[in-house]
């Protein structure tokens, strides 16, 4: 039976407004953008209708070479940033860990929906975890954080550069190009493929700042209806984590480009931020942590991030390895 109030061809109702959602065109990005579209429609009581507008970013066009040699951060956001600036789209949807520590001027996060599993996933046809790999095994990754964290635990393994979507990486594993690789559990879960990986305990391999979080960006002078609907899908705990982890990142990113990891842990009555910086070869590793109350303001959470970053600087004697960022 057809409900006469619902237009059968799914065209916009007269009282419905279109929200153009800019996103990358990758399978994961599209799943995330569709999820945001659906939640916005619900949060606005049907007044808004999400329209997905896919973009190919610079980062999507790069293949084998290390992204880091191609301009670092912002590779996956640049084209989306300018589309939002120009007003070609109303909002952009990103994996937060791919978003540079500082947003372009005039742009702001309208929503951080509830975080997905932030853990790293271990994928290997031969082993359940890194410790089980044979001596000298090849571990595929293009992330400098994962590379240095792996070498810190297993200095004997060989790191090989590994990129591509989930299917590509699985094929490379089958072809023996590497014995193991990592993918974020969040991405795998969103794609319905979490069964392919074994989650790694968070404190064994601290994830990237913002891992598992989707950031929805709007213009500061953006439409009030859109702003309100975004506020309706914002998740307070996730915003707290995004704020503390990104403040930590921003405080270290300013002067150095280094393998960095951070996560805000829920310790019942308190938040605990753990941050980590490593030398590329994994031989040096600095960790620091700090706590604050669960009812902390965004300013206090940002201060927590900066404090933990300052502790790491002190621990490292002010000499952090001069290198790269996460992507």
183 is an interface residue for ligand PBG by CB under 6 A: yes
Axis-axis angle for helices 27-43, 224-233 (nearest 10): 100
Q: How many C-beta neighbours within 10 Å does residue 286 have? A: 19
Question: What DSSP line would sit under 22-73, residue for residue?
Answer: EEE-SHHHHHHHHHHHHHHHHHTTTSEEEEEEEE--HHHH--SS-GGGGT-T
98 is an interface residue for ligand PBG by CB under 6 A: yes
Cβ-based nearer residue to ligand PBG, 57 or 95: 95
Distance of alpha carbon 312 from alpha carbon 235, whole angstroms: 29
Choose, by CB under 6 A, the member of 23, 39, 44, 95 that binds ligand PBG: 95
Please tell me which residue in 90, 98, 117, 179 is annotated as part of the active site: 98
Which tokens in the block code for residue 86?
């120009």
Choose, by CB under 6 A, the member of 21, 55, 57, 97 that binds ligand PBG: 97
Name residues contacting ligand PBG, limited to 204-223 (CB under 6 A). Answer: 211-212
End-to-end Cα separation, the chain, in angstroms = 48
Q: Is 288 helix (H, G, I), strand (E, B) or coil?
A: strand
Provide the minimum distance between the beta carbon of 301 and ligand PBG in the complex, in angstroms, as a whole number: 20
181 is an interface residue for ligand PBG by CB under 6 A: no
Cβ-based nearer residue to ligand PBG, 91 or 296: 91
112 is an interface residue for ligand PBG by CB under 6 A: no
249 is an interface residue for ligand PBG by CB under 6 A: no
Residues touching ligand PBG, count (CB under 6 A): 10
147 is an interface residue for ligand PBG by CB under 6 A: no
Cβ-based nearer residue to ligand PBG, 115 or 313: 115
Cβ-based nearer residue to ligand PBG, 241 or 292: 241
Provide the minimum distance between the beta carbon of 215 and ligand PBG in the complex, in angstroms, as a whole number: 10
67 is an interface residue for ligand PBG by CB under 6 A: no
∠ CA 11-15-16, nearest 5°, is: 50
- Residue 98 a catalytic site member: yes
Distance of alpha carbon 99 from alpha carbon 246, whole angstroms: 10
Choose, by CB under 6 A, the member of 187, 275, 305, 321 that binds ligand PBG: 187
Element (H, E) at 252: helix 236-253
Provide the minimum distance between the beta carbon of 87 and ligand PBG in the complex, in angstroms, as a whole number: 26
Stretch that binds ligand PBG, among 11-19, 178-186, 194-202, 233-241 (CB under 6 A): 178-186
DSSP 8-class letter at 238: H
Contact assessment for residue 112 and residue 242, using Cβ atoms and an 8 Å cutoff: yes
Contact assessment for residue 152 and residue 282, using Cβ atoms and an 8 Å cutoff: yes
Residues that bind ligand PBG (CB under 6 A): 95, 97-98, 183-184, 186-187, 211-212, 327
Catalytic center residues:
98
């Amino acid at each position: 039976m057809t409900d006469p109030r619902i237009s059968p061809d799914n065209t916009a109702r007269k009282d419905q407004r279109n929200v153009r959602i800019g996103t990358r065109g990758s399978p994961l990005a599209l799943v995330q953008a569709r999820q945001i579209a659906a939640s916005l429609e619900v949060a606005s009581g049907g007044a808004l209708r999400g329209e997905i507008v896919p973009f190919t970013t610079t980062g999507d066009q790069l293949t084998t070479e290390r992204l880091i040699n191609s301009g670092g951060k912002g590779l996956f956001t640049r084209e989306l940033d300018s589309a939002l600036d120009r007003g070609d789209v109303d909002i952009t949807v990103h994996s937060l860990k791919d978003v540079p520590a500082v947003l372009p001027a005039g742009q702001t996060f309208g929503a951080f929906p509830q975080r997905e599993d932030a853990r790293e996933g271990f994928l290997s046809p031969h082993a359940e975890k890194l410790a089980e790999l044979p001596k000298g095994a090849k571990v595929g990754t293009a992330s400098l954080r994962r590379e240095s964290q792996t070498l810190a635990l297993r200095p004997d393994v060989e790191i090989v550069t590994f990129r591509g979507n989930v299917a590509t990486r699985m094929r490379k594993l089958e072809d023996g190009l590497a014995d193991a690789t990592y993918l974020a559990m969040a991405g795998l879960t969103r794609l319905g493929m979490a069964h392919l990986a074994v989650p790694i305990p968070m404190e064994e391999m601290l994830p990237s700042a913002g891992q598992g979080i989707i950031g929805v960006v709007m213009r500061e002078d953006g439409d009030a209806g859109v702003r309100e609907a975004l506020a309706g899908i914002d998740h307070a705990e996730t915003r707290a984590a995004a704020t503390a982890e990104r403040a930590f990142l921003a405080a270290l990113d300013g002067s150095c480009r280094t393998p960095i990891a951070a996560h805000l842990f829920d310790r019942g009555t308190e938040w605990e931020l753990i941050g980590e910086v490593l030398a590329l070869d994994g031989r040096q590793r600095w960790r620091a942590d700090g706590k604050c109350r669960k009812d902390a303001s965004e300013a206090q959470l940002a201060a927590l991030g900066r404090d933990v970053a300052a502790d790491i600087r002190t621990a490292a004697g002010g000499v952090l390895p001069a290198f790269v960022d996460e992507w």
